[in-house]
């Protein structure tokens, strides 16, 4: 027996749900930064920067979602990331 169910897309509500996860997004990015710091030989490590941006088709609905970026604190850390891919290692761990 099949049933036909209709959903109404509510982009503002979806955005609100995603914004409610911003703390989780930030915590997970901080875990990645911490793991990446453990691979460092030189440099002062990484930090997390949060923003709220449109992704995918968000801009067509006028909504945003939380975005976390793991950023190198200095040039030595950036160089080590470029040469040894420590952020990729930290994500895969």
- % of the chain surpassing 70 pLDDT: 100
* Res. 26 pLDDT band, cuts 50 70 90: very high
Q: Which helix (H) or strand (E) holds 18?
A: helix 11-19
CA distance 11 to 13: 5
Q: What is the pLDDT of residue 1?
A: 72
How many helices, marked H, and strands, marked E, lie in the chain? 5, 2
CA distance 60 to 56: 9
Q: What is the pLDDT of residues 31-61, one digit of tens each?
A: 999 999 999 988 899 999 999 999 998 889 8
* Res. 92 pLDDT band, cuts 50 70 90: confident
Q: What is the pLDDT of residue 16?
A: 92
DSSP state of 21: T
């Amino acid at each position: 027996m099949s049933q036909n169910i209709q959903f109404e897309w509510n982009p503002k509500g979806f955005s609100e749900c995603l914004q409610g996860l911003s703390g989780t997004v930030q915590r997970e990015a901080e875990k990645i930064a911490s793991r990446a710091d453990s691979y460092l030989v030189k440099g002062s490590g990484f930090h997390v920067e949060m923003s709220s941006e449109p992704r995918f088709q968000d801009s067509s609905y006028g909504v945003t979602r939380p975005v976390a970026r793991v950023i190198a604190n200095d040039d030595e850390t950036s160089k080590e990331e470029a040469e040894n891919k420590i952020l990729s290692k930290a994500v895969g761990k």
